[in-house]
A and B are shown apart, each in its own frame.
Chain A
Amino acid sequence: MSKALIIEDNDNNMELICFILESAGYETERAYTGMEGYEKAINTPPDFIILDIQLPDIEGTEVLKKIRAHDKGKLTPIIAMTSYAMAGDREKLLVTGCNGYIEKPIDPDRVIGQIEAVLAKGT
């Protein structure tokens, strides 16, 4: 059973993505701030991380860098969540060290497929 760490400030989105993942059989760990997400990513390393880029405390890209900078977070697959309007930022994210991304609004039909595709690429 793979464990996913979801870093997302919006409760609705958190609920939605967790529901979809749990429905698909994943275990979920929730973090509502960037710092909380970082700590959980290091202290209880998940199998993969879904990271919202727009966070209230620190930028998602900063969280990404911090996790990547740590030994325990170096190899954890990280999937970024972005709005379609932020399209230009996606390339930046990939350069920063993201393994993939999924778009908001989340399409329940496609999101699991997208996540699995990223994870399959990583292994």
Chain B
Amino acid sequence: MLPISNKISLYFSIPLLLLGVIFIFFLHNIMHKHFEDEHIRWGRILSHTLSESIAEFTINRDLIQAGEILHRLMDQEPVIKYIYVLDFDRQPFAHTFDTAVPSVMMENFNERQPFQHYNINNESVIEVWSPLIKGMNASVHLGISTKADEHFINKTLTILLVLFVLLIATTLLIGALLGNLIGKPLEALTKQLRFVGKENTDLPPKIKSNFAEITDLGNSFNKMLVQRKEYISEIIKQRSSLNKAQEIAHVGNWDWNITAGTLHWSDEVYRIFGLKPQEFAATYDAFLERVHIDDRQKVIDAVNNSLKDANQPYSVEHRVVHPSGELRWVHEKGEVFFSDDKPVDMIGVVHDITEIKKAELVMKAYQSELEKTVTVRTKELTTANQKLQQLDKLKSLFIASMSHELRTPLNSIIGFTGVMLKGMTGELNKLQTDQLGRVHHSAKHLLGLISDIIDISKIEAGRVDIAIECVQLKTLVDDAVSNVKGLLEEKGIVLHMDLEADITLYTDRMRLLQVVLNILSNAAKYTERGSIKVQASHINDHIMLSVEDSGVGIEQDNLHKIFEPFERVENVMSIQSGGTGLGLYLTQKLLAEVLQGTISVQSEIGKGSCFTLTLPLSIGKSEQKENAAGAIA
């Protein structure tokens, strides 16, 4: 390649040279023609003038006079080389030749040609002629030398040639200068490009040029280099943070160029494999060598599967052996890239899972330990559970027998003392009646206690059978009243009933009866005179049932105590009342656990008490105790 300066010179000088040659050629021709025309015009005028002055001498054949005129003219005009006159017979009459008119001129003469070219003594001559007298054959011929013209033309052309040469020389000079002006900075740019190596990010010195464009180019180039430097530092930063991230995560990445057969590892892969870059041949086979011998086939199979099938991503766990002999567990994942169905590249990651594997082993050990413990504990629990179930059965059996075995003899005691007290077995004296009455009463009390205790223990154990049925409230209250009627009549207490008509409940009839009866009998027990009022009404999906008495009443401080077991309020009447001390406790338990209701009390000492039950119209099945199966008598 030619340097730019030579090119510029070449591009300018060649056309200039061609132009010069053509210009000189044309100029020569034009000048030549012009001078010829001038000579012919001038020659004709001169010959015409001469013919007028010489015609008389020719006719008279006065050769002396004619010759004098011709020579005089020759002397006056040095460009005229010769003159000759032809007479009427076309024979030379007078002439200025040394000897005679050359015969060639005579032969060439033709009336139709106004001029002729001749070469006389190596001198170019134009011959012009005019007729001596119009219409006659006689003529005057002038030979005009063109030597001066040639000389002039040659001189002019020489000057022009010199000028052209100068022009071309200048052009070459300018070319060289331009080449320097443009080429030098470009050369500098090239040097800079070489200077900016692969890793070299230093900035080269600025390009200086008189041309704005080249300065711009240099500036743009420098700007580009600054950006490049920034990009490179950014890339270096990212590369180092990626490297750090890989180190932290114990994940390295690799790129296997299958076509070229080269394998590139990131720093972390080298760390995982315990190798230095100079110790590794960076090929697939070199990699396989580092894989534990027992895992090698597995890895080869996994790689081959992925190479065969694009849908089968590479994923394999294997061990690697460090040169030190240390073993590491890794998990590799990768993807193959295909070009025209041929695998060309494979990239992937290596995850060092040694710690995970270790943890897994520990976990497995713990797990099996745990499983063993669980098995042992389960056995123990099963045994304990069986024991508990046995105990529970025993307890149920115990409660059942309590109910039967304790009650049966008590029933006998109560029955027989009752028969005796009635006098059916014969008359008793006063003391016998009193004492037997105490036995009878105590036995009844004991029976009541047992019944209550059994009920409470059933509720607390969640073993209450709940039988939901349709209950007419009035029937139920009547039933309860019939149980206390005797006592009321005995004491002369009036009973007022104010029940809203047709209240129907869906509840456990027997348990509700138990509750109502308890409250009613309490009222009867603690009231000595006056009346007991039973009221019932329903509000939305609840009913309110209240039993109001005019009895002894309860002190405000004691109100909260009455629902606690064995907390009978101490007063004068308590001794005579004969309750078990569990009645209200049981009542409250039945309400809460079975009937889904509540109980509240208002009382004033000496004026009476009012117990109010709030009960749902229907108790939900879901609230039933599920494990109510235990058969307790």
- Residues of chain A touching chain B, judged by Cβ–Cβ distance below 8 Å, are 10, 12-13, 16-17, 19-20, 23, 54, 83-88, 104-109
A86 partner residues in chain B, CB cutoff 8 A:
633
14 extra A-B contacts, CB within 8 A, seeds A19-B424, A85-B403, A107-B418: A10-B412, A16-B415, A16-B416, A17-B415, A20-B424, A23-B424, A54-B404, A54-B633, A85-B407, A88-B465, A88-B467, A105-B415, A105-B444, A109-B422
Whole-angstrom CA separation of A35 from B398 in the bound complex: 27
Is B574 an interface position by the 8 A CB rule?
A: no
Would you give the shortest CB distance from B361 to chain A, in whole angstroms?
A: 62
Q: Which of B130-138, B309-317, B447-455 contacts A (4 or more CB under 8 A)?
A: B447-455
Q: Which residues of A lie under 8 Å from residue B408 when comparing CB positions?
A: 10, 12-13
A12 x B407 contact (CB < 8 A):
no
CB distance from B493 to the nearest CB of A (A): 21
Given A13-B408, A23-B424, A108-B424: A84 and B451 within 8 A (CB)? Answer: yes
How many A-B pairs have beta carbons closer than 8 Å: the answer is: 64
The 10 listed contacts between A and B (C-beta, < 8 Å) are A12-B412, A13-B412, A16-B416, A20-B424, A83-B403, A84-B451, A85-B451, A104-B411, A105-B418, A105-B447
Within 8 A of A (CB), among B350-392: none
Residues from chain A with a CB closer than 8 A to the CB of B416 are 12, 16
Residue of A13, A19, A87, A109 touching B411 (CB-CB under 8 A): A13
Does any Cβ of A come within 8 Å of B419's Cβ? yes
Judge if B414 is at the interface, Cβ distance under 8 Å.
Answer: yes
How far does the alpha carbon of A15 sit from the alpha carbon of B459 in the complex, in Å? 35
Residues of A contacting B404 with CB < 8 Å?
54, 83
In the complex, whether B409 has a CB less than 8 A from a CB of chain A is yes
Complex contact A85–B633 (CB within 8 A): yes
Interface residues on B, range: 20 to 34
B454 contacts which chain A residues (CB < 8 A)? 85
Interface pairs A-B: 3 shortest CB-CB: A12-B412, A105-B414, A105-B411
Residue of A nearest to B420 (CB): A108
Contact A106 B467 (CB under 8 A): no
Q: A108 to nearest B CB, angstroms?
A: 5
Question: A85 contacts which of B419, B422, B455, B465 (Cβ < 8 Å)?
Answer: B455
B196 CB-CB contact with A under 8 Å:
no
Q: Are A19 and B414 in contact (CB under 8 A)?
A: no
Q: Is the CB–CB distance between A108 and B412 below 8 Å?
A: no
A108 touches B422 (CB 8 A): yes
Chain B residues with CB under 8 Å of chain A are 403-404, 407-412, 414-416, 418-419, 422, 424, 444, 447, 451, 454-455, 465, 467, 510, 513-514, 633
Which among A10, A105, A106 has the greatest number of chain B C-beta atoms within 10 A?
A105
Which residue from A16, A84, A87, A104 sits with its C-beta under 8 Å from B419?
A16
Q: Closest CB-CB distance, A78 to chain B, in whole Å?
A: 20
Q: For A20, what are the chain B residues with a Cβ–Cβ distance below 8 Å?
A: 419, 424
CB distance from B358 to the nearest CB of A (A): 66
In the docked arrangement, what's the CA distance between A108 and B415, Å? 7
Smallest Cβ-Cβ distance to B448: which chain A residue: A84
Contact B510 A104 (CB under 8 A): no
Q: Output the least CB separation between A19 and chain B (Å).
A: 6
What residues of B have a CB within 8 angstroms of the CB of A16 in the complex?
A: 412, 415-416, 419
Contact A108 to B419, CB < 8 A, known contacts A85-B455, A86-B633, A88-B465? yes
Q: How far is the CA of A13 from the CA of B411 in the complex (A)?
A: 8
Distance in angstroms from B594 CB to nearest chain A CB is 12
Residues on the A chain within 8 Å of B418, using CB: 105-109
The distance in angstroms between the C-alpha atoms of A106 and B451, with both chains bound, is 16
Residues of A within 8 A of B465 (CB): 88
What's the Cα separation between A85 and B424 when bound, in Å?
A: 28
Residues on the A chain within 8 Å of B633, using CB? 54, 83, 85-86
Give chain B residues whose Cβ lies under 8 Å from the Cβ of A88. 465, 467, 510
A109 CA / B440 CA spacing, docked (Å): 14
* Residues of A with C-beta under 8 A to B424: 19-20, 23, 108
* Cross-chain contact B409 with A12 (CB below 8 angstroms): yes
* Complex Cα spacing A56 to B19, Å: 151
